[in-house]
Amino acid sequence: MPEEQTGDRPLIRAHLALDGAQTWELSAHLHAWSIDPIWPVVAEDIAHDEPVIVRVGSPANPDIPFDVLQSTGARLIAIVPDQSVDSLIAAAAAGAWAAVSESDAHVALAAAVREVSEGQCPLLGVAAKRTGVAFAILAMLREAWSKNATSSPPSPLSEQEVRMLRMVYEGGTNKVIAKRLALSEQTVKNYLSRVFEKMGTRRRAQAATKALEYGWLREDETQPEP
């Protein structure tokens, strides 16, 4: 159970893509630990790397399609039926950073939200202690890497655009990116607008996530000149 909130921690936003009954029940728990539960879920309101709580491996009723939630660049936290190998593998396959069982959600969810918001991935910690889960996750990663390497379209991005998208995926704002690359914020905006046009996207998180899935953000990729 998480340490009792003392009032000195920053408020964390967590989006709840759950059914009504579970949303009400878990909201009270999150509020008690200075976590702001957001619902109904609106994809455009989810900031990159913000926690989004979903159900995996059991019937769910999210306000928006699951693939849309994944495309926002959010950090998913899965509520699973139990801590069985199958449940944890399902959470990993969904791209979750953490998995909390249904029976423990009312006491353990806040701790998972805080860990994930701080950049930790509790699900990998669990996998490291359970061989079956670890092997399954490694197999999924190998398959995804192989698929991206053989079936993804060639990258239309320049080296500079790739660098910027990596920073976007890491949560960098235009101001941060401009400072790191010694550019003006307007120049960064212009670059990213060109990226969106090339990729057929409208949002930063969608562009960065799509590029990552295609393997375009890998360090060893050689990008064409603009």
Return the H-helix or E-strand segment holding 213. Answer: helix 204-213
Reported as a single tens digit per residue, the pLDDT across 14-50 is: 999 988 888 888 998 999 999 999 988 888 888 888 9
| Euclidean distance between CA atoms 78 and 126, whole angstroms | 14
List of domains in the chain: 12-142 (3.40.50.2300), 151-213 (1.10.10.10)
Indicate if the pLDDT at residue 223 is higher than 50.
no
What's the distance, CA 37 to chain centroid? 17
Find the mean pLDDT for residues 177-205.
90
Q: With contact defined as beta carbons under 8 Å apart, do 76 and 70 qualify? A: yes
Contacts of 80-84 spanning 24+ positions with Cβ under 8 A: 80/55, 80/56, 81/57, 83/126
Q: Which residue, among 123, 109, 118, 121, has the nearest Cα to 37 in the 3D structure?
A: 109
φ/ψ (deg, to 5) at 96 = -75, 145
Reported as a single tens digit per residue, the pLDDT across 199-212 is: 888 778 778 878 87
Q: With contact defined as beta carbons under 8 Å apart, do 60 and 29 qualify? A: no
| Average confidence score pLDDT of the chain | 83
Q: With contact defined as beta carbons under 8 Å apart, do 77 and 116 qualify? A: yes
